[in-house]
Protein backbone atom coordinates (compact mmCIF):
# COMPACT_ATOMS: atom_id res chain seq x y z
CA UNK A 1 0.00 0.00 0.00
CA UNK A 2 1.19 3.49 -0.87
CA UNK A 3 1.06 6.36 1.63
CA UNK A 4 1.85 9.98 0.88
CA UNK A 5 2.64 11.89 4.06
CA UNK A 6 3.09 15.66 4.07
CA UNK A 7 4.20 16.93 7.50
CA UNK A 8 3.61 20.55 6.46
CA UNK A 9 0.01 20.36 5.22
CA UNK A 10 -1.62 21.18 8.56
CA UNK A 11 -3.21 17.75 9.04
CA UNK A 12 -1.73 15.55 11.76
CA UNK A 13 0.33 12.69 10.35
CA UNK A 14 -1.75 10.03 12.09
CA UNK A 15 -4.89 11.62 10.58
CA UNK A 16 -3.31 11.54 7.10
CA UNK A 17 -2.75 7.81 7.55
CA UNK A 18 -6.32 7.29 8.79
CA UNK A 19 -7.72 9.18 5.80
CA UNK A 20 -5.55 7.36 3.30
CA UNK A 21 -6.52 3.94 4.65
CA UNK A 22 -10.21 4.89 4.54
CA UNK A 23 -9.83 6.31 1.01
CA UNK A 24 -8.02 3.13 -0.11
CA UNK A 25 -10.88 1.04 1.25
CA UNK A 26 -13.47 3.31 -0.38
CA UNK A 27 -11.51 3.02 -3.65
CA UNK A 28 -11.39 -0.78 -3.16
CA UNK A 29 -7.62 -0.79 -3.23
CA UNK A 30 -7.82 -2.36 0.23
CA UNK A 31 -10.44 -5.07 0.59
CA UNK A 32 -12.07 -6.84 3.53
CA UNK A 33 -9.69 -9.35 5.09
CA UNK A 34 -6.61 -7.74 3.58
CA UNK A 35 -3.77 -7.26 6.05
CA UNK A 36 -2.09 -3.90 6.55
CA UNK A 37 1.67 -3.59 6.98
CA UNK A 38 2.89 -3.90 10.57
CA UNK A 39 3.52 -0.78 12.64
CA UNK A 40 7.26 -1.46 12.46
CA UNK A 41 7.29 -1.95 8.68
CA UNK A 42 5.19 1.13 8.00
CA UNK A 43 7.22 3.19 10.45
CA UNK A 44 10.42 2.27 8.62
CA UNK A 45 8.94 2.85 5.15
CA UNK A 46 7.56 6.29 6.03
CA UNK A 47 10.33 7.29 8.48
CA UNK A 48 7.64 8.07 11.05
CA UNK A 49 7.58 7.36 14.78
CA UNK A 50 5.91 3.98 15.45
CA UNK A 51 3.66 5.65 18.04
CA UNK A 52 2.16 7.77 15.26
CA UNK A 53 1.39 4.69 13.16
CA UNK A 54 0.00 2.94 16.23
CA UNK A 55 -2.29 5.90 16.97
CA UNK A 56 -3.63 5.82 13.40
CA UNK A 57 -4.25 2.09 13.58
CA UNK A 58 -5.98 2.45 16.96
CA UNK A 59 -8.23 5.15 15.48
CA UNK A 60 -9.07 2.90 12.54
CA UNK A 61 -9.94 0.06 14.92
CA UNK A 62 -12.06 2.41 17.01
CA UNK A 63 -13.85 3.55 13.83
CA UNK A 64 -14.64 -0.08 12.99
CA UNK A 65 -12.48 -0.10 9.88
CA UNK A 66 -9.74 -2.49 11.00
CA UNK A 67 -9.78 -5.57 13.19
CA UNK A 68 -6.97 -7.40 14.92
CA UNK A 69 -6.43 -10.96 13.74
CA UNK A 70 -4.60 -12.92 16.42
CA UNK A 71 -1.10 -13.80 15.26
CA UNK A 72 -1.54 -12.11 11.88
CA UNK A 73 -1.95 -8.37 12.41
CA UNK A 74 -4.57 -5.83 11.43
CA UNK A 75 -6.98 -6.48 8.60
CA UNK A 76 -9.77 -4.57 6.92
CA UNK A 77 -13.10 -5.47 8.54
CA UNK A 78 -16.04 -6.81 6.60
CA UNK A 79 -18.47 -3.94 6.08
CA UNK A 80 -15.74 -1.27 6.16
CA UNK A 81 -16.43 -0.28 2.54
CA UNK A 82 -19.72 1.49 3.28
CA UNK A 83 -18.41 3.47 6.26
CA UNK A 84 -15.21 4.43 4.44
CA UNK A 85 -17.11 5.54 1.34
CA UNK A 86 -19.35 7.69 3.55
CA UNK A 87 -16.35 9.09 5.44
CA UNK A 88 -14.60 10.02 2.18
CA UNK A 89 -17.71 11.78 0.86
CA UNK A 90 -18.23 13.64 4.14
CA UNK A 91 -14.62 14.84 4.38
CA UNK A 92 -14.46 15.99 0.77
CA UNK A 93 -17.86 17.69 1.00
CA UNK A 94 -16.66 19.65 4.04
CA UNK A 95 -13.48 20.68 2.25
CA UNK A 96 -15.37 21.73 -0.90
CA UNK A 97 -17.86 23.70 1.21
CA UNK A 98 -15.01 25.56 2.92
CA UNK A 99 -13.24 26.45 -0.33
CA UNK A 100 -16.44 27.47 -2.14
CA UNK A 101 -17.54 29.55 0.83
CA UNK A 102 -14.16 31.33 0.87
CA UNK A 103 -14.40 31.97 -2.88
CA UNK A 104 -17.92 33.40 -2.62
CA UNK A 105 -16.97 35.57 0.39
CA UNK A 106 -14.05 36.93 -1.62
CA UNK A 107 -16.44 38.27 -4.24
CA UNK A 108 -16.37 35.54 -6.86
CA UNK A 109 -19.69 34.58 -8.37
CA UNK A 110 -21.08 31.04 -8.57
CA UNK A 111 -20.26 31.15 -12.29
CA UNK A 112 -16.66 32.14 -11.53
CA UNK A 113 -16.33 29.23 -9.11
CA UNK A 114 -17.86 26.79 -11.60
CA UNK A 115 -15.46 28.04 -14.27
CA UNK A 116 -12.48 27.48 -11.99
CA UNK A 117 -13.66 24.00 -11.04
CA UNK A 118 -14.32 23.04 -14.67
CA UNK A 119 -10.90 24.32 -15.77
CA UNK A 120 -9.14 22.45 -12.97
CA UNK A 121 -11.01 19.26 -13.79
CA UNK A 122 -9.88 19.56 -17.42
CA UNK A 123 -6.27 20.17 -16.32
CA UNK A 124 -6.20 17.32 -13.79
CA UNK A 125 -8.15 14.70 -15.75
CA UNK A 126 -5.99 11.60 -15.84
CA UNK A 127 -3.01 13.42 -14.33
CA UNK A 128 -3.64 12.79 -10.64
CA UNK A 129 -1.98 9.94 -8.78
CA UNK A 130 -4.65 8.13 -6.78
CA UNK A 131 -4.34 5.59 -4.01
CA UNK A 132 -5.04 2.81 -6.53
CA UNK A 133 -2.62 4.09 -9.20
CA UNK A 134 0.31 4.87 -6.92
CA UNK A 135 3.17 2.72 -5.72
User: At how many degrees (to 10) do helices 13-26 and 50-62 cross?
Assistant: 50
Residue 102 included in any domain: no
What does pTM read for this prediction? Answer: 0.81
The whole-number pLDDT of residue 57 equals 97
Report strand pairing: 73-76 vs 66-69.
antiparallel
Chain Cα centroid distance, residue 52: 16
The predicted-structure confidence for 1-56, as pLDDT tens digits, reads as follows 678 899 998 999 999 999 999 999 999 999 999 999 999 999 999 999 999 999 99
* Residues sharing a CB contact under 8 Å with residue 85, sequence separation 6 or more, in sequence order: 26
% helix / strand / coil in the chain, to the nearest 5?
Answer: 55, 5, 35
Length of the chain: 135
* Domain, as residue range, for 56: 13-81
**Domain count of the fold of the chain:** 1
CATH of the domain at 70: 1.10.10.10
The predicted-structure confidence for 44-103, as pLDDT tens digits, reads as follows 999 999 999 999 999 999 999 999 999 999 999 999 999 999 999 999 999 999 999 999
Amino acid sequence: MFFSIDPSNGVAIYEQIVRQVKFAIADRTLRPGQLLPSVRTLSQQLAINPNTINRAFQQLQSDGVLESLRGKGLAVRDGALDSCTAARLSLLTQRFRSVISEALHSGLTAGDVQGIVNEMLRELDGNVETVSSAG
